[in-house]
Structure 1
């Protein structure tokens, strides 16, 4: 899995200290009530398509780039689903990171899904009624994407 060059440059300066990054997640749904998932190289699990926003890149453009890079599918954004600060995490090498994640609902335009980079073992459409084991956060993202409410989900401050 290739680490973006800008992160490698930042790591030269900050070492393993916590980096605050913008993450992108796509819930790609087709007209057959199927969802596009990738099986990750790093842990072998099926997951939603996602990635990291590059400096200066617009979030929707960045997610569409990630979808195409990982699956060879060209997609379109339907709407922003959620904005959420994820808990800090550590990688095996000691790097610490925290993501502000922007999740979008998307639809495919063209292209047959296939492994299109070194980050995935498999790529395929899954029926919503028979998905593989996903994390609670991913299942929540899917439920939010399927909601008829067009407003993005976010944590409101306590008044």
Structure 2
């Protein structure tokens, strides 16, 4: 069996492999409420409500570290890895056929953090708590899919979206 050092970009290209972009999402929870931000100025679902903290996993970073980093960068809160609760992993596509359109999203909830959540970046125009039973409109569609699962439970450990 060949070692991992033989798995090159050329090999991947010859065997139909593509890039999957990983992302971490954190839904801060207070009882039955969830913290959502309203996206603005990004060109991606601007005006839609979304997870309080979310973003791409950077090279060499675990999905847990990405979730913690995003919560700090976007909300100014400190989260411990032990306080993250994995909700589901979502394999997602917009079905365009473009490699950039293949995603693996890992959703977490968190009910313990330090600091008061506040918008830290200009990627959002509002930040509010909403009861899961009374979500605002519109919510980013694949995130709404997960929020609906949280509301109705139980949530499958892995879901597919857009296929």
TM-score normalised by the chain length of structure 1? 0.69
Give 2:58's aligned residue.
54
Displacement of 1:74 after TM fit? 2.5
Q: Secondary structure at the match of 2:101?
A: strand
Task: Give the alignment's Cα RMSD to 1 decimal.
Answer: 2.8
Structure-2 change in CA distance of 1:78 and 1:63 (3 Å)? closer
Distance, in Å, in 2 between the alignment partners of 1:67 and 1:127 is: 20
For the residue of structure 2 that corresponds to 1:74, the secondary structure is coil
Ranges of 4+ aligned residues in structure 1 off by more than 6 Å: none
Paired residues for 1:75-90 under 5 Å: 75-76=79-80, 77-88=83-94
Report the counterpart of residue 8 of structure 1 in structure 2.
none
Map of 2:20 onto structure 1: 20
Shift of 1:89: 7.1
> Secondary structure of 2:93's match?
coil
1:130 aligns to 2:134 (yes or no): yes
Structure 1 residue 100 corresponds to structure 2 residue 104: yes
Q: Distance in 2 between matches of 1:136 and 1:118?
A: 22
The structure with the largest alpha-carbon Rg is 2
Q: Is the CA contact 2:36–2:49 (under 8 Å) kept in the aligned structure 1?
A: yes
| Structure 2 gaps, min length 5 | 1-17
Aligned position for 2:144: 139
Distance in 1 (CA, whole Å) between partners of 2:100 and 2:131 is 35
Q: Does 1:110 align with 2:114?
A: yes
Report how many residues are paired: 134
Query: Is 1:34 aligned to residue 33 of structure 2?
Result: yes
Q: What are the Cα deviations for residues 78-135 of structure 1, in whole angstroms up to 9, with x where unaligned?
A: 4221112211478xxx994321111112223222221101221122222223221124
The 1:120/1:136 distance shift into structure 2, 3 A limit, reads closer
Residues 20, 36 of structure 1: CA spacing in aligned structure 2 closer, same or farther, 3 A cutoff?
same
Q: Could you tell me the TM-score, scaled by structure 2's length?
A: 0.68
